């Protein structure tokens, strides 16, 4: 159907139903980057999201009574196009808006839905300031940067590391702030920062930087970074090539087959992830179901975190009994202990970045092993 045709039929449907109380059709709008720089994150998130919506519709809809139609707009990973898509979706009367896995377009789109009182969730935006930058209709869904950093720092302290080197890039909030949050928690718990390095996103050449690390005396006990590919593998290769053997801590950005594909030099890396699909866990079962349904295993955990969002919404709609903006917002903000694939999700008492389980995995011989799944202690999570 053309966009115009779809709009007309929606308006017709809305006119017919006229706000009566029986089973309703609602639209959820998605303004996400299905092509361009965010596609690696937004594409898998959408795949999971759609699967969950289909399941929920088959069971009678959100809260048992709202049948969901999706209006999916590709923003080409462009913030301007995201704003435009959000405006169109809001004008169309969507009940919920989903925004990309990135802070800037999410904040820009959120400001539009905020004034229209439409609850808005970011796919896997991790920057903890997203929600406060927009307002009370904006919700995160994914483990936030400060939570990941707190868990990594606790792990570093428990391993007895005394000094850490952090590598950060000012090019994105994720690559800059996550290591800084780590440093904050690590020093608060008695560690020291032996040095800091900087790189440019996509720079890929780390020879100069690792030469400086190799020259540090004494050598740091551990090296922490939120670099992801292509930078992380290039950094690690250069680091080990320069003879630096200190253990490396990373964030969920390296939860990718590329990291395990690095072979021996990846041994001992510990990094955070939203969840690990072990056999017999809900996440493991989901991976099997997804594989059966689509013929291909999920390439990343974003498929699962995308899948969880409709179920989080379902819990909120059930609690609110309606999909009206203010009521749904309040219901979401008061959710507590919602069981999803990767653990429990809580919004109550947070700034709408959820408090939720995060998993630490260790890489050995090309495979990951989960070593800890925990919700970071709110007392040690740094303020955004």
Partner 1 sequence: MMDIILQQVLNAISLGGIYALLALGLAVVFSIVGLINFAHGELMTVAGYVLFLGVLFALPLPFAVLLAIGAAALAAVLTERLAFRPMRKADATSLLLTSFAVSAILRVLFQNGISARPKPVPLPSALSGTVNLGPVHLGAVPLASIVVTVLSLVTLNLFLKRTTMGQAMRAAAEDFQVLRLMGIKANRVIAVAFGLSGALAGISAVLWVAQRGSVDPLMGFIPVLKAFVAAVIGGLGSLPGAVAGGFVLGISEVLFQAFLPEAALPFRDAFVLSVVIAILIWRPEGLIPAKTARRS
Closer CB to partner 1, residue 36 or residue 325?
36
Closer CB to partner 1, residue 189 or residue 237?
237
Residues 254, 276: Cα–Cα separation, whole Å: 13
Residue 47 C-beta: closest distance to partner 1, Å: 10
Closer CB to partner 1, residue 225 or residue 355?
225
Lookup: tokens for 149:
């950093």
DSSP β-ladder status, 192-198 and 163-168: parallel
- Beta-bridged to residue 224, according to DSSP, are 166, 249
Residue 102 C-beta: closest distance to partner 1, Å: 14
| Diameter over CA atoms, the chain | 75
Cβ atoms of 95 and 120 closer than 8 Å: no
| Helix ranges restricted to H, 64-172 | 79-92, 103-115, 130-134, 145-158
**Helix, strand, coil shares of the chain as percentages rounded to 5?**
45, 20, 35
Residue 228 C-beta: closest distance to partner 1, Å: 9
Cβ atoms of 355 and 349 closer than 8 Å: yes
Cβ atoms of 250 and 226 closer than 8 Å: yes
Residue 59 C-beta: closest distance to partner 1, Å: 30
Angle made by CA atoms 290, 292, 293, in degrees to the nearest 5: 65
Residue 243 C-beta: closest distance to partner 1, Å: 6
Closer CB to partner 1, residue 50 or residue 344?
50
Residues 55, 119: Cα–Cα separation, whole Å: 22
Residues that bind partner 1 (CB under 8 A): 35-37, 39-40, 43-44, 170, 196-198, 200, 202-205, 207-209, 211-212, 214-215, 229-231, 233-234, 237-238, 240-243, 256-258, 260-265, 299-300
Residue 252 C-beta: closest distance to partner 1, Å: 14
Residue 168 C-beta: closest distance to partner 1, Å: 9
**CA gyration radius, the chain:** 21
Closer CB to partner 1, residue 32 or residue 113?
32
Closer CB to partner 1, residue 100 or residue 110?
100
Cβ atoms of 382 and 159 closer than 8 Å: no
Closer CB to partner 1, residue 88 or residue 171?
171
């Amino acid at each position: 159907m053309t966009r115009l045709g779809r709009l007309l039929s929606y308006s017709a449907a809305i006119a017919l139903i006229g706000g009566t109380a029986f089973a309703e059709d609602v639209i959820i709008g998605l303004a996400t980057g299905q092509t361009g720089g965010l596609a690696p994150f937004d594409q898998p998130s959408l795949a999971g999201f759609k699967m969950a919506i289909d399941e929920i519709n088959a069971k009678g809809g959100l809260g048992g009574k709202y049948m969901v139609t999706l209006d999916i707009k590709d923003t080409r990973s462009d913030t301007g196009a995201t704003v435009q898509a959000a405006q169109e979706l809001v004008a169309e009367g969507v009940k919920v808006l989903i925004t990309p896995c990135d802070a800037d377009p999410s904040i820009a789109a959120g400001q539009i839905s905020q004034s229209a009182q439409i609850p808005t969730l970011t796919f896997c935006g991790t920057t903890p300031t997203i929600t406060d930058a927009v307002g009370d209709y904006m919700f995160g869904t994914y483990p936030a940067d400060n939570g990941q950093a707190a868990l990594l720092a606790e792990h570093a302290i428990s391993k007895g590391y005394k000094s850490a080197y952090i590598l950060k890039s000012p090019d994105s909030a994720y690559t800059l702030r996550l290591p800084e949050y780590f440093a904050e928690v690590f020093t608060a718990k008695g560690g020291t920062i032996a040095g800091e390095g900087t790189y440019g996103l996509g720079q890929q050449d780390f020879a100069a930087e690792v030469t400086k690390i190799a020259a540090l005396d004494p050598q740091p006990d551990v090296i922490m970074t939120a670099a992801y590919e292509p930078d992380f593998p290039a950094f690690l290769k250069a680091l080990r090539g320069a003879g630096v053997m200190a253990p490396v801590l990373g964030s969920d950005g390296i939860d990718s087959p590329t990291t395990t594909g690095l072979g021996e030099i990846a041994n001992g890396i510990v990094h955070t992830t939203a969840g690990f699909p072990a056999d017999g866990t809900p996440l493991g079962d989901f991976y099997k179901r997804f594989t059966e349904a689509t013929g291909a295993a999920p390439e990343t955990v974003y498929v699962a975190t995308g899948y969880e969002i409709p179920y989080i919404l379902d819990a909120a709609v059930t609690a609110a009994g309606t999909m009206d903006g203010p009521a749904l917002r309040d219901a979401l903000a008061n959710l507590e202990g919602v069981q999803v694939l990767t653990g429990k999700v809580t919004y109550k008492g947070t700034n709408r970045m959820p408090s939720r389980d995060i998993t630490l995995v260790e890489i050995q011989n090309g495979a990951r092993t989960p070593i800890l799944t925990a919700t970071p202690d709110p007392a040690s999570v740094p303020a955004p």
